[in-house]
Copies of this chain bind each other. A is one copy, B any other.
């Protein structure tokens, strides 16, 4: 028997989850790797964990309405992970395969394999996505063309979010004359990194904001024409100098959204991907946006989206055609901060949301095992 450590959601966090209180390491379970019954499924071993901001919205009392299905209290946390198949009774899944997708934060899991490429749309209600239906899917071993950790960034949720929204929402609006300007907040974040690079590929001028000088340097490194640290240069100053803008890609909400509206050209288009400044803060305490009169004066469109809305089979096919190849060729870059040790996953989640300004790189990844 082998110890099967897991990280359990013990209590709903009200704001910032506390490791040991809300997210608890549980060493009580064991598993017989050789003999555990698979019942037609397969057994996986956890390699990498990708802690991400959206996970917070799943850690809530199910009575509270939100966009994604809640996690189960007392059960392991669920998130995007890279796993390796140890044993399989499932046709098409073989020992030694690598797979990526939603799975439990536990060392070994018997997977109930669901059919379907990526999204089990029929499991979604009109109100929420059952994110657990983002099932594991096989991913190739990049054999050194890129590290496995790219599956958590360019080829993970941030990559899917950035690629699908840029291609579906922004790219179709580029068929006009003249250079367009896009402003990307949280430019060094997982999604921001993708948007900066896709925007440069399409010839846009890119302005990016970030919360530290290292992050600003990183935005420039991956192509931003102008990047600024919002702690030392105000959004207003930067956008007055480098704007006005045709597009704003909003990852943060709050003051950045308000100042982006101020800097909008006529017929500008704002994509709202996330509101990281609001996470863990009661709505009443958030920054209120007062310049909404500019929405009609400048005929601005704001479009909110969630990734699953955009992930048609065609989009998924296009994503897997483009992104792994571009990554292997170095045409799309990212960096991951690797954190060793499964026991550090709860703290890594907290840092991915609130503590990231120390990192100069786009994505935190927890390394549970090398292979």
A287, B287: Cβ atoms under 8 Å?
Answer: no
Knowing A292-B275, A293-B275 are in contact, say whether A306-B302 is a contact too (CB < 8 A).
no
- Which 3 A-B pairs have CB atoms at the shortest separation, nearest pair first? A288-B288, A295-B304, A296-B304
Residues of chain B contacted by A305 (CB below 8 angstroms):
296, 299
A300, A302, A306 pick with most chain B CB within 10 angstroms: A302
| Contact present for B301 and A306 (CB under 8 Å) | no
A–B pairs, 30, beta carbons within 8 Å: A57-B297, A66-B297, A67-B296, A67-B297, A257-B292, A272-B292, A272-B295, A272-B296, A273-B296, A274-B296, A275-B296, A278-B293, A283-B293, A286-B290, A287-B290, A288-B288, A289-B290, A294-B304, A295-B303, A295-B304, A296-B305, A297-B304, A297-B306, A299-B303, A299-B304, A300-B302, A300-B304, A301-B302, A301-B303, A302-B302
CB distance from A268 to the nearest CB of B (A): 10
Tell me the chain A residues, 297-351 only, with Cβ under 8 Å from chain B: 297-306, 309
Evaluate contact between A283 and B290: CB separation under 8 angstroms.
Answer: yes
Chain B residues within 8 Å of A170, by CB: none
- In the complex, A266 has a CB within 8 A of chain B: yes
Interface presence of A126 (CB below 8 A)? yes
Say yes or no for A253: interface residue by CB 8 A criterion: yes
Q: With the chains together, A42 CA to B327 CA distance in Å?
A: 70
- Does A177 have its Cβ within 8 Å of any Cβ on chain B? no
Tell me how far the C-beta of A295 lies from the nearest C-beta in chain B, rounded to whole angstroms.
3
Asked if A122 lies at the interface with its beta carbon under 8 angstroms from chain B, I say no
Residues of B within 8 A of A283 (CB): 290-291, 293
The distance from the CB of A232 to the nearest CB of chain B, in whole angstroms, is: 23
A21-54 contacts to B, CB under 8 A, are: none
Contact of A288 among B290, B298, B306 (CB under 8 A): B290
Chain B residue with the shortest CB-CB distance to A289: B289
A367 to B114, CA, bound (A): 73
8 Å CB interface, A66-82 against B: 66-67
Contact of A296 among B290, B296, B306 (CB under 8 A): B306
Interface centre among A272, A287, A291, A292 (most CB of B within 10 A): A292
CA distance A301 to B275 in the complex (A): 16
- A233 contacts the other chain (CB 8 A): no
Q: In the complex, what residues of B have CB within 8 A of residue A284's CB?
A: 290
Q: Does A127 contact B (CB under 8 A)?
A: yes
Chain B residue nearest to A291 (CB atoms) is B283
Report Cα–Cα, A212/B127, bound state, in Å: 36
Nearest chain B CB to A292's CB is how many angstroms away? 6
